[in-house]
Amino acid sequence: MFIDTLLIGISSGAIYSLMALALVLVWRSTRVVNFAQSGQAVFSTYIGYEITVRTHNYWISLPAAIICGALLGSLVDLLFMRPLLRRVKSGPIAELAPVIATLGLLGLLQSLLGLLWGNAFLQYASPLSAKGFTFGSHTVPFSPQNLFIVLASALVLVIFGLIFKYTNLGLALRAASFQPEIAQLAGVRVSRVRNIGWAFAGATGALAGAVITPTSTLSPNSLDLLFVSGFIAAVIGGLDSLVGAVVGGLVLGIGFSFILQYIGSSVTFLAGFLILMVVLLVRPRGIFGHKLGRHA
């Protein structure tokens, strides 16, 4: 029973980690919490869904959704955030405007999806079984799709880890995130690098949407709860740290799973916010946050 609960926790934690990672990537590049992230992810998932409807092949739809997510992330930055941030550079509105703007974009994307595909619950099918693996007479609540979710998330983390640590692009991304002005003076094209950060985030969110949706249903709001969990995970991890996002996601996923198993479903969601509040009270910079007051 303990192992079962742990496995479910890891599987949902992996998804939270991906969503948290998407938020952290944007936060690091632009110092904006992108509330439209779930909208972008669900939009990309609809594209994936549409491709499976036409090709009946999940394995074509998955990379297509990821590419769509990357393009959408890049476009949101280019057409939306950049003009906005150019206009509101300072004052109290500079902190608030991006929040309101991304919330507005979320509404816009979800309404658009409703117009195009309707608000009905759709089935985005994966060829992998959603039935748990069976060992002897015991069936664990961990399916091939869950395994795929965990493996895909792990792969993404490894890829990002390698990019950030060993490539010039990764170095430029880190430099632009820590000290944009010095990075610029060193010759880093900061706006371009930021845009790549948005594209990476969009792709990660799209992957989360495209691997989790086959385990439930697809609707314009189907990833909203995932966003909330991803956000909590990102804050637990410090909002600034990629490793933190992953650890935050896993802590939350495993935590939820055990609470669901041993306490009850009515308190799981409440527990998420409780964990968030405790973290904010005890260690406001998150587990892996470096220091307070770092600014763009």
Partner 1 sequence: MSAGLIVKNLSVNYGAVGAVHDLSFAIHPGELVALIGANGAGKSTLLRALSGLISPLRGEVNWNDVSLLGKKPEELVRLGIVHISEGKAVIPELTVSENLTLGGIWRGDKTDVAAARSETLEIFPALADRLHQRADTLSGGERQMLAIGRALISRPKLLLLDEPSLGLAPLMIEEIFKAISELRHRLGLTVLLVEQNAVSALRIADRGLILSLGSLVTSGTPTELNADPQLRVAYLGI
Applying CB under 8 A, the residues found at the interface with partner 1 are 168, 171-172, 174-175, 178-179, 181-190, 290
Question: Shortest Cβ distance from residue 170 to partner 1 (Å)?
Answer: 10
Say if residues 81 and 195 touch (Cβ distance below 8 Å): no
What is the rounded CA–CA span in Å between residue 116 and residue 125? 19
Which of helix, strand or coil describes residue 286?
A: coil
Question: Shortest Cβ distance from residue 288 to partner 1 (Å)?
Answer: 13
Rg (C-alpha) for the chain, rounded Å, is 19
Question: Shortest Cβ distance from residue 172 to partner 1 (Å)?
Answer: 6
- The DSSP secondary-structure symbol of 267 reads G
Closer to partner 1 by CB, 177 or 261: give it.
Answer: 177
Question: Shortest Cβ distance from residue 240 to partner 1 (Å)?
Answer: 10
Closer to partner 1 by CB, 67 or 287: give it.
Answer: 287
Closer to partner 1 by CB, 71 or 171: give it.
Answer: 171
What DSSP string runs through 199-248?
Answer: HHHHHHHHHHHHHHGGGS-B-TTTTHHHHHHHHHHHHHHTSS-HHHHHHH
Closer to partner 1 by CB, 114 or 174: give it.
Answer: 174
Question: Shortest Cβ distance from residue 290 to partner 1 (Å)?
Answer: 7
Tell me the β-bridge partners of 273.
none
Buried b (16+ CB within 10 A) or exposed e, 228-267: bbbbbbbbbbbbbbbebbbbbbbbbbbbbbbbbbeeeeee
Closer to partner 1 by CB, 178 or 273: give it.
Answer: 178
